[in-house]
Structure 1
Amino acid sequence: MPNAANESSEGTGFQPGDGVVEEASELQEASSADRTPEEEFLAQMLAASGATNLKEAGLYDPAEVAAEEERIEEEMSPEERQAKAEHDALAAAFSMIRERSNEGKLTTPGTWAAAGIVPDHLIPVDFSDLAFDEIIAAQAASAAAKKVAEEAAQAVVADADADAVSADSSVEDVAASDSKADEAADENAPSVDEGDSLDSEIETPEWKLDDIKVLEGKQTYLYSSDYMTDTYAHWAFLAEEGDDALTLVDNAREESRLYPRPMLAASLSSKPYYWNAEQIEQAWQAVQESGSYPDINTCEASNGERYFYSTDYLSDAQAKALAEWYSVERYMNV
């Protein structure tokens, strides 16, 4: 999607900081006693950087920049304004997914609406559709680019291997074959122009969204795999879905299978569930009453701490022994 703001600013000659170059020069010429605290700070920044003006130092007057951006937006057509609003809202939506993932939270389309980032000309469901279209398109373009790169690399290796196999077994012929393989690799390696043509065959995605993952349930949830593991996302998903019986069962099975060990009941009091003792007991009752999870059982250590486990992965004796170890015996050996 084109950035209408950038397109509209082409040819204007404006660069951030243009309006403050003269001001910065005056700051350097003024004596320290005549400067305001703000002017003194800017003068010190300029002196430290060796720059002669704010632009050279990479410092811009926010008011000047904001005023210029406002002027550019006023000159846009209605279509350009809408395109810019959509672009900015999408950037905010994708940033929100990553920020919330870093905080251990999933994101739903409703989160975007509640945060007020949906453009005025769109209803929330239309913006949600737009966001998912962008995610799908960006990930498809990224996958296509990777496929082309892998096929090109495989072709180079295949050609080199074919030449090497046809070589004679003598030392001289082997040496000649190696040289030939190197030449073949050089000949088949994409040149700068060929690389450009490969790139031109695939539309470069505007967004880098390979990390954005989707979970479908009562709602659609999104998270970033750069900031949240798939396993934690699954637990957060269960917490959001509100199926307490399934949450207890999935956690008990995962602990029993992965480590293997029984799951401490009190662990459900932690993030992302935050259950109290009553909720844990109610979930266990729901598991028993459903009759759908015959492999889930419970045991207690000698100090009264309760555990849940799956008999698909642990026997009753193993679960009991491990519960005693984790709750009591390991502390005795410290």
Structure 2
Amino acid sequence: MLPIILLPLMVLSVSLAYNPLYEATTTISVDRTKASSPVLMNISDPSNSLILERRLKSESVIRDTILSTGAVVGFELLPTEEKSNVLRDFTNRVRMTILSDDMVRINYKGETPEKAENVLEILVGNFIDEILAPERVRVGDLLASLGNQVQLYSEQEKKANERLSIMQAKLANTTGKSREALLKELVGVEFNVQKAIAQKDLAQSEYEDLLLQSRSLMGGQFHNEPNAIMWIVDPALSLSTKRDMTYHMQILFVALQAALVLALVLVMYKKLTDSTLKKDSDIYDALGLKILGHVPNLGHVESEGGRLIITTQSKVL
């Protein structure tokens, strides 16, 4: 019975010693109409969802998250093999689920609810940055090209205006056929000025729109960012509360009830299966003396630990 009595204490000790992992979750939305990546245009496709999951669990994303959150103290100082083990353990705590064509759920398990939420927020931010990196490169190249166009058209406009001013000054001192020829040339220069202005304004407008998109790509992880392609719908939320002493007391109470039930079952089982000899008739049956037709006086008969102890007196037959 002693092990049964100690059972609740053993369960309580295990409960106190066990360090559970707490899971946090968050959701990401994708605007397929603004994405140029084929993966983001159809995230529910199994091959595309696999690509997203690999990017989420890539070494660069996991490593940046560990360093940003301090999840592993002295990570950079660890030996290569131990680093690999840490990265693998961290990766196993991350889970991604495709909810629909434009919704992704990401979960992470941490040592405490607060830590799980904090790490998940950083992880999702790094993941979005990783996914949008090609978009940022593409937009950056377009920005550079449009910037060069704006500068080129501005220079063309400036040169055309300078030439126009010179020709207008000449026109005042020119007469006859020379004036007519100069007027025709002047019209062409004015056309070039207007053309350069129109091209510059168009390039400038495209540049400003693209610049707005680039700002969204650089830090656009929320829906209120203009031209956002991916954003966090809800902040990271823990799915379970921290286990305090009340939880451990509940475990102890359940263990006490289980120990009581087990003790009662064992007592009943022992009683039902008890085969020890308790009465004289049981002893006679065990010795097979009834078949003689006459039960001799065996004297005082006792049972001790399943053994028969018979005390007899000498008698002349």
**Same fold flag (TM > 0.5):** no
Q: TM-score, normalised by structure 1?
A: 0.22
Choose between structure 1 and 2: higher strand proportion.
Answer: 2
Q: Which has the larger radius of gyration?
A: 2
Q: TM-score, normalised by structure 2?
A: 0.23
**Which of the pair has the greater relative contact order for Cα pairs under 8 Å at 6+ separation?**
2
